[in-house]
Amino acid sequence: MAMTLAAQIESYIKRLLALSADNSVELSRADLAQMFMCVPSQINYVLNTRFNTEAGYYIETRRGGSGYVRIIQTRLEGGADLAQLLAAARDKPFSRQAADNLLARLLAGEIISKREHAVVKAMLVGDALKLAEENEDLLRGRLIRLLLMNLIRDDYNDEQN
């Protein structure tokens, strides 16, 4: 099965991050667009959907002739980081992609197990929430906040024991 262009760009950037000593990489949108023979807006799409805060990335940009995009991969370090995610998620609708990114980040940070990841992903990213129709993303956002609150409680209780 062939990878989509967005998946190819994402994979390339993730390979660069994996080779980086400081979990960051600095790139030129124009160079990436030329390399993948696409328009710069395709690069923007990949950055916005696959390298956002829910997925565990921080992006710095500078526009202009010598402009760049710096992608920094962040790590989850327990309750404090979960609380920060919870604050960012307050009253925010979550798309399927954003929820999938967040769950992948929780799994990679060993905050949830593979089994927990599979169960929660089935509920949040599968077809179950389609019944909510136009409120699907809002309902997903509320469920994510409940998940994060419970993970924070579990982390706090583990620290107390």
Token pair of 31 as six digits: 């160079």
Note the pLDDT of residue 3: 82
State how far the Cα of 71 lies from the Cα of 27, in Å rounded to an integer.
8
State how far the Cα of 139 lies from the Cα of 141, in Å rounded to an integer.
5
Q: pTM to 2 decimals?
A: 0.62
Note the pLDDT of residue 80: 65
Question: Cα separations (Å) of 153 from 37, 72, 80, 88?
Answer: 47, 28, 11, 17
Token pair of 91 as six digits: 């009253």
pLDDT by residue for the chain (161 residues), tens digit each?
Answer: 678 999 999 999 999 999 998 889 999 988 999 999 999 889 989 998 888 877 888 888 877 666 688 998 877 766 667 777 777 766 778 888 888 888 888 888 888 899 999 999 998 887 888 888 888 998 888 888 888 888 777 654 555 55
Token pair of 72 as six digits: 């920094």
